[in-house]
A and B are shown apart, each in its own frame.
Chain A
Amino acid sequence: DAKTTQPTSMDCAEGRAANLPCNHSTISGNEYVYWYRQIHSQGPQYIIHGLKNNETNEMASLIITEDRKSSTLILPHATLRDTAVYYCIVGKTSYDKVIFGPGTSLSVIP
Chain B
Amino acid sequence: NAGVTQTPKFRILKIGQSMTLQCTQDMNHNYMYWYRQDPGMGLKLIYYSVGAGITDKGEVPNGYNVSRSTTEDFPLRLELAAPSQTSVYFCASSKTRRSFMDEQYFGPGTRLTVT
Contact = CB atoms under 8 A, between A and B. Distances in A.
Interface stretch (A15-23, A72-80, A93-101): A93-101
24 contacts: A32-B99, A32-B101, A41-B109, A43-B90, A43-B106, A43-B107, A43-B109, A44-B90, A46-B103, A49-B99, A49-B101, A49-B102, A89-B101, A91-B99, A92-B100, A92-B101, A93-B99, A95-B56, A95-B100, A96-B100, A98-B59, A98-B100, A100-B43, A100-B44
> Chain B interface mostly helix, strand, loop or mixed?
loop
Interface of A: 31-32, 34, 36, 41-46, 49, 87, 89, 91-103
B102 A98 contact: no
Interface string B39-54: 0111111001000000
B36 to A, nearest CB: 11
Contacts of A34: 99, 101-102
B45 A95 contact: yes
A92 B58 CA distance: 13
A100 B43 CA distance: 5
Interface residues of B, number: 26
A93 B50 CA distance: 13
A100 B33 CA distance: 13
Contacts of B105: 46
Contacts of A49: 99, 101-103
B92 to A, nearest CB: 7
Given A95-B56, A100-B35, A44 B43 contact: yes
